[in-house]
Structure 1
Amino acid sequence: MADGVWNEQVARGYDEASADMYAPEVLDPAVDFLERRTAPGTDRAAALEFAVGTGRVALALSARGVRTAGIESSEPMARELGGKPGGGDVPVTVGDMTTARAPGTYGLVYLVYNAITCLLSQDDQVACFRNAARHLAPGGRFVIEVFVPELRRLPPGETARPFHIGTGHLGFDTYDVANQRVVSHHYTIADGQCTTFLSPHRYVWPAELDLMARLAGLELAERWADWHEAPFTSSSRSHVSVWRKPPR
């Protein structure tokens, strides 16, 4: 895990920096997708979000009547969630999503917005799958939303690619291809000052995630290009994948 990244300062400004992710056209399809996979009307109608953060998705899912909980390694992020309207309805276990245990079992465990890549080793990513499987009831589902590595856009010899250039923000990624690492650099200019935020990630391929799922006793059930369930193709820039824990 990228320890020290999600500190008090980042937590306070996280929602403002991610305001576009709260737009209904972005958030609602994700919540719709997840709600349909919580097995409503059964004893598996509960959801657990790994890396729940400030609760963007969990609070929206809880507001629809889905019993929702979270695991979060950053205490400042968890506090931000708890202070929001409805935050008391989403219990959060503070701990690493590779090992922390939330009370109970769930029909759905999910991990969104590229959060699997915040685990910086293959071993930790495998452990995350195993922890998800431990929390799932038989027949339950594990959902991940994550980008597809765009190495085809990285010319030979280059290690940096911009992903956003605006009047108040510059963002670029630097790649360490040999170790499947990428660091996202954010430079924000406001009130005559520039603030920086660096976020390290381990990118991971869909096929590698499928093998991690098999090691955890899960099987691939669905793969889409986005929350709208567009077909996943060789040109898709992200994917939403669903693995299923076999029934007893």
Structure 2
Amino acid sequence: MTEQDPSHYAARFAANYDDWFPSYVTDSTVERLALLAKVAGGGPVLELGSGTGRVALPLAARGLEVHGVEAASEMTDRLRAKPGGRDIPITVGDFSRVPVDGAFALVYVVNGTFFELDSQHDQAQCFAHTADHLLPGGLFVLDAHVPEALVAPDAAVATLPIRGGGVTVRLRRVDRAAQRYTSHYLIFDGGGIHHVPVSFRYASAGELDLMAAMAGLRLRERFGGWAGEKYTAASTYHVSVYERP
């Protein structure tokens, strides 16, 4: 995400993030990323939007050299407080610019975080800078909603349990003309009601492929989920793997 201001949800609610926002990252996610890192040569890996370390830490525990970029220093403070968190190098900055040194076998961004980049320009810039930091044969991996699924009637409202009791109600509003959606999280946690809006600029698989091609990357494979499901006409979600030739 781009440079943080103090009002951004990641800065304001870092202490509550792991409890309030259930992760869509599972053991399958970590296993898939570890496998892809091995396919790409087993070199260092970089997470864009490393947050509180929900993916970086399990990957590091598997023996991978993991680095991160995170715009909110408050999120990195939470990562540092976890076992192993001080061993992961984190650069605080705008991940659309990939402000790190060195080259990586794998760069990844998960949980739809790529789409918190505000514009097509920022997203294309992220592809370009990522390509510059990939080793030959290196991979760039991201996950995304299929846009048509975002506007389905049953996608507008969801109820999500939160750690320690309580519940989160997510209301999703889609602006098709602007190619954007906002998830409004209403969090009931025993300490009151909290409203956390998070805005995204979505893109189709075809648009992502074009950004990749402009950056000199090519689509290696596309899954229907982190467990390696086949991507089909019925898929509502995808994991796309781009390769630097």
Q: Is 2:118 the partner of 1:115?
A: no
Tell me, yes or no, if the aligned pair for 1:148 and 1:236 is still in contact at 8 Å. yes
Letter in 1 for 2:77: R
Tell me, yes or no, if the aligned pair for 1:6 and 1:77 is still in contact at 8 Å. no
Offset from partner CA, 1:111-144 (integer Å, 9 cap, x none): 1000111011000000111111111001100000
C-alpha separation in 1, matches of 2:40 and 2:145: 32
The residue number in structure 2 matching 1:139 is: 137
Tell me, yes or no, if the aligned pair for 2:9 and 2:196 is still in contact at 8 Å. no
Residue 88 of structure 1 and its aligned partner are, at CA, apart by: 1.5
Instruction: Give the secondary structure class of the aligned counterpart of 2:187.
Output: strand
The residue number in structure 1 matching 2:156 is: 161
The residue number in structure 2 matching 1:36 is: 35
Residue 234 of structure 1 and its aligned partner are, at CA, apart by: 1.4
Residue 161 of structure 1 and its aligned partner are, at CA, apart by: 1.9
TM-score with structure 2 setting the length: 0.90
C-alpha separation in 2, matches of 1:7 and 1:151: 23
Letter in 2 for 1:18: F
Q: Is 2:239 the partner of 1:244?
A: no
C-alpha separation in 1, matches of 2:217 and 2:141: 11
1:10-89 aligned within 5 A: 10-19=13-22, 21=24, 26-39=25-38, 42=41, 45-89=43-87
User: 5+ unaligned residues in a row in structure 2: which ranges?
Assistant: none
* Count of matched residue pairs: 237
Tell me, yes or no, if the aligned pair for 1:97 and 1:131 is still in contact at 8 Å. no
Offset from partner CA, 1:20-48 (integer Å, 9 cap, x none): 54xxxx52111111111113794x52110
C-alpha separation in 1, matches of 2:224 and 2:50: 22
Instruction: Give the secondary structure class of the aligned counterpart of 1:163.
Output: strand
Tell me, yes or no, if the aligned pair for 2:131 and 2:244 is still in contact at 8 Å. yes
Pair 219,40 (structure 1): closer, same or farther in 2 beyond 3 Å: closer
Task: List structure 1 segments (4+ residues) > 4 angstroms apart after TM superposition.
Answer: none
Tell me, yes or no, if the aligned pair for 1:126 and 1:212 is still in contact at 8 Å. yes
C-alpha separation in 2, matches of 1:78 and 1:9: 13
Tell me, yes or no, if the aligned pair for 1:6 and 1:74 is still in contact at 8 Å. no
User: 5+ unaligned residues in a row in structure 1: which ranges?
Assistant: none
Tell me, yes or no, if the aligned pair for 2:221 and 2:242 is still in contact at 8 Å. yes
Residue 192 of structure 1 and its aligned partner are, at CA, apart by: 6.4
Letter in 1 for 2:12: Q
The residue number in structure 1 matching 2:194 is: 195
Query: CA RMSD for the aligned pairs?
Result: 2.1
C-alpha separation in 1, matches of 2:150 and 2:30: 30
C-alpha separation in 2, matches of 1:20 and 1:141: 23
The residue number in structure 1 matching 2:185 is: 186
Identity of aligned residues (%): 37
Residue 227 of structure 1 and its aligned partner are, at CA, apart by: 1.1
Residue 15 of structure 1 and its aligned partner are, at CA, apart by: 0.8
Pair 192,93 (structure 1): closer, same or farther in 2 beyond 3 Å: closer
Pair 243,41 (structure 1): closer, same or farther in 2 beyond 3 Å: closer
Letter in 1 for 2:169: L
C-alpha separation in 2, matches of 1:18 and 1:151: 19
Pair 45,188 (structure 1): closer, same or farther in 2 beyond 3 Å: same
C-alpha separation in 2, matches of 1:17 and 1:98: 26
C-alpha separation in 1, matches of 2:78 and 2:205: 32
Residue 83 of structure 1 and its aligned partner are, at CA, apart by: 1.7
C-alpha separation in 2, matches of 1:6 and 1:203: 19
Q: Is 2:124 the partner of 1:126?
A: yes
Tell me, yes or no, if the aligned pair for 1:6 and 1:76 is still in contact at 8 Å. no
